[in-house]
Each structure stands twice: as C-alpha cells, then as structure tokens.
Amino acid sequence: MPNNNLYRNLKVIAFDADDTLWHNEINFRNAEREFAQAMLPFCSEERAVAHLMEVEGRNIPLLGYGTKTFIIALVEAAIELCGGKAPNELIVKAMEIGKKSVRPQMKLYEHAEQPLAHFYKTHKLVLATKGDLKDQQYKIERSGLAGYFSHIEIMSEKDVPTYKALLDKCNVEPEEFIMVGNSFKSDIKPVLEIGASAVYIPSEIIWTHEVVEEFDHPNLVKLDSINQLPALFNYT
C-alpha cells in the first residue's frame, strides 16, 4: 500500500459502474458468441467476432458507446460477412441477439456495496460512467446503489476534457479527487493525466476497445478487489 498521505486531502471518490460495481461485459461476450454461432454457415467463429469488433470500433466515433451501437454493428457485420447479401432471417437474428443485451440481468460484484456504504459517511461519492444514456440510467436504477452518490455523471467519453469538466462540477482540485475503475484506458490514464489519483481494479473481462498499455504512476494503486478499498484509506 502507498503512503496514505496521498489521500489526506481527498474530498471526492468517483466510481466507474460497468465491470467495477456490476457485471456488464459478460453480457456482450455472450452475445458475441451467439453471433459467431449464427454466422457459421458463412464464416468461422473467429472471423465473425473479429469483424464485429472492427465494425463496432469504426462506428464508436460516430455513434458512441452502448447497446444501440452494438446492435448496429451486429447487423452491419452480418451483412458485410455475407458480401452484402445476408438473408433476412440472419439480419433478424442479429437484431434479436443485440436486443437481448439492452436489458441485461443486473448482478452486482460481491462486496460492491460495502465500500460505498462506508465512504458515504466520510466523502462525497460520484458515479462516473460512460455509455448510452437510457442503458446506464436503467442499470443504475436497477442496481439499488444510486442513493450513495451525490452526483451521477453519464459521459459520452472518458477523457481529459470530460474529467476536467467533472472536477469543475464537483468544485474540487485534482489532488482532492480519486477515481476507482476497471478500465485503464477510461478510468485510470486520463485521471492521472489531469493530476488526480486512481485506483485500478482490473476486471476478468476487458472489452477489446478498452485495451491500452498500462504503466506505473505515483498516484496509482492497483487492487485485486473492491473490498480492499477501505484499507487503502486506513479505514477498518
């Protein structure tokens, strides 16, 4: 554990949502496998998934994140893998696969609520997540955790400008802010770049488009589980 003096002036603890507080990526991974199975008459499973990721990646700058972008990618990938002549039933199947990811089963990570309940008494808690507005609102409501947060921010992207804007909304300086999340690209790297602190809790599954080279930093701590978070602040 690092020197706790680093956290002495903290006022705001921000938490990522998907795959930090609750399971999310597994739903898309299951949908990818189902899509790959549906595409077997036309290509290999490996090619189906790889092309789906390619289509999704090129659409994100235009359409953003979330299930709607995923559904469009499923349909586009199916059409392209069939040389522009995808059967109607395959297009319908691709849409059905995507729609099942719109309202996934809500499953919190074990111990996710305990740190929130503890820090709620001592710090201002913020939920900072990205994705489709309706998707995220649905999951936040279903999670039962919304009451712990004094501010909820649903971002279209997590980068330096959006984190700077979040700090302005919270009226805090970088040294008064820490971000807890599972994505090094979205939750860690941009937060460190603005001079704030971060706690990295890698998830078992990481989305292809969130993979980035990791690095060490004086303001960064890596934990195995969210239940280790209280000890970082010397709370027992």
pLDDT of amino acid 8: 73
Query: What's the predicted TM-score (pTM) here?
Result: 0.87
Mean pLDDT: which of 66-70, 144-148, 209-213 is highest?
144-148
Mean residue pLDDT across the chain? 90
DSSP the chain: ---GGGGTT--EEEE--BTTTB--HHHHHHHHHHHHHHTTTTS-HHHHHHHHHHHHHHHHHHH-SSHHHHHHHHHHHHHHHTTT---HHHHHHHHHHHHTTTSPPP-BPTTSHHHHHHHTTTSEEEEEEES-HHHHHHHHHHHT-GGG-SEEEEES--SHHHHHHHHHHHT--GGGEEEEES-IIIIIHHHHHTT-EEEE---SS--GGG-------TTEEE-S-GGGHHHHTT--
Structure tokens given for 56: 């999704």
Span 138-189, pLDDT tens digits = 899 999 999 999 999 999 899 999 999 999 999 999 999 999 999 999 999 9
Residue 80 confidence (pLDDT) above 70: yes
33-47, 71-85, 110-124, 197-211: which has the minimum mean pLDDT? 197-211
How many whole angstroms separate alpha carbon 141 and alpha carbon 157? 21
Residue 10 confidence (pLDDT) above 50: yes
pLDDT of amino acid 9: 83
pLDDT of amino acid 192: 97
